[in-house]
Amino acid sequence: MGSLSRRHFCLCCMTGAAFASTGGWLSPRQAFAEARGVVTLIKDSAASSPVTSYKLHGNLSVLEGSGGNIAVLTGSDGKVLVDGGISVSRPQLTKTLSSLGSEPITHLINTHWHFDHTSGNEWLHAVGAKIIGHENTRKHLSEVQRVEDWDYNFLPLSAGVIPSEVLSANRKFTLNGASIELKPYNPAHTDSDLSVTFAEADILHTGDTYWNGVYPFIDYSTGGNIDGMIAASDANLAASTDNTIIIPGHGKPVSNKSELKEFRDMLIGIRDNVAALKKSGRTLEETVAAKPTAIYDAKWGQFVIDPAFFTKLVYEGV
């Protein structure tokens, strides 16, 4: 199946009505129904969202508004992108990328396989980008991929637009005068997560192991788990100083160590609450009803992964 079918897959069979305001807690059944709309919600929102760029140190910027946050390194070797966003926002992305310089896009790094980071692979490859990613990103993008918690089947990308260069261990290279290092995580958000660091600028892109200020998705269908998310957060903290600019996969795109620490502490707090409920014999429905995320919801529960859905994701892994 080509990427065209993949791109149009959800638009014909999903309904935005699932996202009508629910005004509070959902039963697990309602939460799952709502989750089915996540893919559509994210795509639809990208199609109409502006893409905003934020200048960081040196020749680095971060772009927000097309799925996951996209880092851009400019220079004479061509633009290097960390994640390719969602294909529907190509017009906005093209415009914003042009405003950063006239050089072509030569390299694209996929932080993991999810569509909101890789659906731009097709057009970015067409304009000449070489695609680099974890070996499991290549594997997942080559097959029909079912994500159980989204109740969704992603169709494979075509052969030319999956990563042509893959890694399963740390790799360093230099482009545009920047020392770039790719490091695979142990399974966390998925089993295909990579971090990308730019040494001189002191910038860390965490992919979806870190969502700034919002509950994260955890993809158990392709190897993710809550304890892996906590371990990845510890690895991200260890890789950062108080001066490091941290680019999260989602959420406010320019972050720092103290915000990352809050995220890690939130994950641990909720993991412990949910684990205690599950250990005492509570069903998933009873655990959701006990509101184990309550003290965190005002801050973290305002995005697509709502408190009931996040509780389910944690329950699944403890």
- Number of residues engaging Zn ion in binding (CB under 5 A): 2
If you write DSSP's letter for every residue of 106-138 in order, what string do you get? EEEEESSS-HHHHTTHHHHHHTT-EEEEEHHHH
Residue 193 or 287: which CB sits closer to Zn ion?
Answer: 193
User: CB of residue 218 vs Zn ion: minimum separation in angstroms?
Assistant: 9
- Which stretch, 134-142, 207-215, 229-237, 288-296, contacts Zn ion (CB under 5 A)? 207-215
User: CB of residue 291 vs Zn ion: minimum separation in angstroms?
Assistant: 26
Taking residues 74 to 113 in sequence order and writing x for each that binds Zn ion by CB under 5 A, - otherwise, the string is ----------------------------------------
> Which ranges in the chain belong to alpha helices (H)?
3-8, 28-35, 38-48, 90-99, 115-118, 121-126, 135-142, 226-238, 257-279, 284-289, 294-300, 307-315
**How far apart are the C-alpha atoms of 124 and 141, rounded to whole Å?**
15
User: CB of residue 208 vs Zn ion: minimum separation in angstroms?
Assistant: 4
208 near Zn ion, judged by CB under 5 A: yes
Token pair belonging to 196: 């990308």
**How far apart are the C-alpha atoms of 186 and 188, rounded to whole Å?**
6
**Which of 36, 107, 114, 278 contacts Zn ion by CB under 5 A?**
114
**How far apart are the C-alpha atoms of 31 and 291, rounded to whole Å?**
14
**How far apart are the C-alpha atoms of 315 and 318, rounded to whole Å?**
6
- Which stretch, 162-170, 203-211, 237-245, 273-281, contacts Zn ion (CB under 5 A)? 203-211
Cβ-based neighbours of 98, under 8 Å, separated by 6 or more = none
205 near Zn ion, judged by CB under 5 A: no
User: CB of residue 23 vs Zn ion: minimum separation in angstroms?
Assistant: 27
Taking residues 270 to 289 in sequence order and writing x for each that binds Zn ion by CB under 5 A, - otherwise, the string is --------------------
149 near Zn ion, judged by CB under 5 A: no
Q: Which residues bind Zn ion (CB under 5 A)?
A: 114, 208
